[in-house]
A and B are shown apart, each in its own frame.
Chain A
């Protein structure tokens, strides 16, 4: 049975990780806008996820403007899948449906 992962359990952090799970790579500003966080809050979550080895952070430029991209690492993708599996098991064991509405 899969276990919930405390590193990605917080709602904002799970939204960040789930967005990154759907992406090869996403730019910091894109993640910020989609998840609805401020720069500083996203920076803190990204740093925590990087420290856990779940997210790789790449810095670069578009023209002369500095940009940052986030990518889910292989361990991060495994952790995300295990977390989602744990959530699905909780739902399934209760008899609720996972099917979309």
Chain B
């Protein structure tokens, strides 16, 4: 089996294009996933508010954990496409971590002042605002990361 250098170069370019298009077609994570995780945190803070019946706290945490496991299983086994881990660049991972930390910062920025003012369910309010923040910004972050992965494939000197 033989192929001309020109055809080989075209084939490699086609491989890169196919990979980049596929990576851009789907966000790195679906928007519902971080929203679900944030709602889990919201639920945990709600059922663990001081003064809550311990049985309600325990039962609530069990139900929320089951829901969280369901989210993870859906993400793992029902996604249309999950980018290969080898493509994840340090910059993309850093961007994701910064976004998660910023989301947590939003929650704390709301919860701490409310808690200082002795408002009940301050943590829950903080997590609700975090959920809204993640719902609003998550799709942008997911698309940004997938575009970074696609650009990495396009700019790589060697096809992956």
Q: Tell me if A23 and B82 are in contact (CB < 8 A).
A: yes
Chain B proximity mask over A4-32: 1 for CB below 8 Å, otherwise 0 = 10100101001100110111111101100
A34-B21 CB under 8 A given contacts A4-B1, A87-B11, A88-B12: yes
Pick the residue among B9, B19, B23, B87 that contacts A98 (CB under 8 A): B9
Check: A84 CB closer than 8 A to any chain B CB: yes
CA distance A32 to B5 in the complex (A): 29
Complex CA distance for A11 and B14, rounded to whole angstroms: 9
Cβ of B109 under 8 Å from chain A: no
The docked-state distance in angstroms from the alpha carbon of A14 to that of B13 is: 12
- Complex CA gap A33/B21 in Å reads 11
Q: Is A99 an interface residue (CB 8 A)?
A: yes
Of A11, A21, A34, A94, the residue contacting B25 (CB under 8 A) is: A34
Residue of B nearest to A60 (CB): B77
Please give, as numbers and ranges, the residues of chain B lying within 8 Å of A15 by CB-CB distance.
Answer: 14-15, 18
CB distance from A9 to the nearest CB of B (A): 7
Q: Verify A18–B15 contact, CB threshold 8 A.
A: yes
Binary flags per residue of B85-126, CB closer than 8 Å to A gives 1, else 0: 101000000000000000000000000000000000000000
Q: Is B52 an interface residue (CB 8 A)?
A: no
Q: How many residues of B contact A (CB 8 A)?
A: 38
Chain B, residues 64-83, CB within 8 Å of chain A (1/0): the string is 00000000000001111111
Bound complex: CA A62 to CA B11 (Å): 35
Q: Does the CB pair A22–B12 fall under 8 Å?
A: no
Q: Could you tell me the distance in whole angstroms from the C-beta of A58 to the nearest C-beta in chain B? A: 8
Residue of B nearest to A58 (CB): B77
Complex CA distance for A99 and B6, rounded to whole angstroms: 14
Residues of B within 8 A of A3 (CB): 1
B82 lies within 8 A of A25 (CB): yes
Q: Do B160 and A30 touch across chains, with their CB atoms under 8 A apart?
A: no
Interface membership of chain B positions 1-44, coded 1 if the CB is closer than 8 angstroms to chain A and 0 otherwise: 11111101101101110110111011000000000000000000
**Which residues of A pack against B, CB within 8 Å?**
3-4, 6, 9, 11, 14-15, 18-19, 21-27, 29-30, 33-35, 60, 62, 67, 69, 84, 87-88, 90-91, 93-94, 96, 98-100
